[in-house]
Amino acid sequence: MFVTAQQLEQQMPDATRLLSDEPEMETSLHYMQLLLLVTCLEWLWRDRNDFFIGANLTIYFSRQQLRNRDFRGPDFFLVKDTEKRPRSSWVVWEEDGRYPDLIIELLSDSTADTDRNLKKHLYENRFHTPEYFWFSPETLEFMGFELVGNKYQEIIPNVQGWRWSSVLGLYLGINDGKLRYFTPDGDLVPTPEEAALESQQAALESQQAALESQQAATDAEFRWEQERQRAERLADYVRRLGVDPDNLI
């Protein structure tokens, strides 16, 4: 039976109800790494409301893709200059045609070839995503690319092995076996827990400094009082000798 394009469109699900169709993270290493990327950036940009982070979320970029069930979802992606609100998936035609500004894939044995080739080609030629990184939580393989013209070129690492992200305004680099963010000055962007510990440590150090300062003031006051009492005893002795200490030169 012949089916018109309009009928076919009517058979497709409502774009506003499209759910993500991505598999679970393969290992706890992948899950913890994804959580780290999301929470650190959310904490750093906690005062901003103009971005969206997708974590293991399907990107629906064409109705043909939807009909073919050719779903593609990066492990981590960032869209800037958009409304920060919950989404069940990223539907390009419902988001003013916006594609991710940055994508990070977490390599695994089953996905590495796809991430290095098919997905890289898709992000480069269809999405035109300005920056694409991949990282293996198991082997620590780390690569980064930026779109120059219409082609990805490798982002050359610095001496620490970090790669600069113009989209983030941060470095991405490996620290203690994890992919982390670093500020332009080279400081590690903390997790909320690390930030809380740093704040507690700073408060303890400030308290300790205040106690030390108070102790130093107390010690100085004690020494001054000792000197005052010594001077009074000396004056009394001089008076007993018949000499007025106020007239001494």
- Regarding whether 49 and 25 lie in a shared domain, the answer is yes
Q: In this predicted structure, what is the pLDDT of residue 168?
A: 98
Q: In whole angstroms, how large is the CA radius of gyration of the chain?
A: 32
Cα–Cα distance measured from residue 40 to residue 168, given in angstroms and rounded to the nearest whole number: 12
pLDDT in tens, the chain (249 residues): 333 334 334 444 555 556 555 556 578 999 999 999 999 999 999 999 999 999 999 999 887 766 656 666 899 999 999 999 999 999 999 999 999 999 999 999 989 999 999 999 999 999 999 999 999 999 999 999 999 999 999 999 999 999 999 999 999 999 999 999 999 999 999 999 999 987 676 655 666 666 666 766 676 677 777 777 887 787 777 677 676 767 765
**Nearest alpha-carbon partner for 90 in 125, 116, 57, 41:** 57
Among 189, 204, 225, the domain-final residue is 189
Q: In this predicted structure, what is the pLDDT of residue 244?
A: 73
Structure tokens at 25: 């993270």
- Regarding whether 177 and 243 lie in a shared domain, the answer is no
Q: In this predicted structure, what is the pLDDT of residue 139?
A: 96
- Regarding whether 215 and 152 lie in a shared domain, the answer is no
- Regarding whether 229 and 209 lie in a shared domain, the answer is yes
The domain tally of the chain equals: 2
- Regarding whether 215 and 185 lie in a shared domain, the answer is no
- Regarding whether 60 and 180 lie in a shared domain, the answer is yes
- Regarding whether 34 and 134 lie in a shared domain, the answer is yes
- Regarding whether 179 and 62 lie in a shared domain, the answer is yes
- Regarding whether 236 and 116 lie in a shared domain, the answer is no
- CATH number (domain holding residue 119): 3.90.1570.10
Among 148, 165, 189, the domain-final residue is 189
Q: In this predicted structure, what is the pLDDT of residue 211?
A: 64
- Regarding whether 236 and 155 lie in a shared domain, the answer is no
CB contact burial 81-109 (16+ within 10 A = b; e otherwise): ebeeeebebbbbeebeeebbbbbbbbbbe
Q: In this predicted structure, what is the pLDDT of residue 18?
A: 61
- Helices 28-44 and 192-240: angle between axes, nearest 10 degrees: 60
Cα–Cα distance measured from residue 53 to residue 38, given in angstroms and rounded to the nearest whole number: 7
- Regarding whether 106 and 57 lie in a shared domain, the answer is yes
- Regarding whether 177 and 56 lie in a shared domain, the answer is yes
Cα–Cα distance measured from residue 154 to residue 142, given in angstroms and rounded to the nearest whole number: 11
CB contact burial 191-226 (16+ within 10 A = b; e otherwise): beeeeeeeeeeeeeeeeeeeeeeeeeeeeeeeeeee
Residue corresponding to tokens 């000055």: 185
Cα–Cα distance measured from residue 183 to residue 78, given in angstroms and rounded to the nearest whole number: 18
Q: In this predicted structure, what is the pLDDT of residue 229?
A: 80
Q: Domain span at residue 58? A: 5-189
Among 142, 172, 189, the domain-final residue is 189
Write down the number of H helices and E strands in the chain.
6, 11
Q: In this predicted structure, what is the pLDDT of residue 66?
A: 66
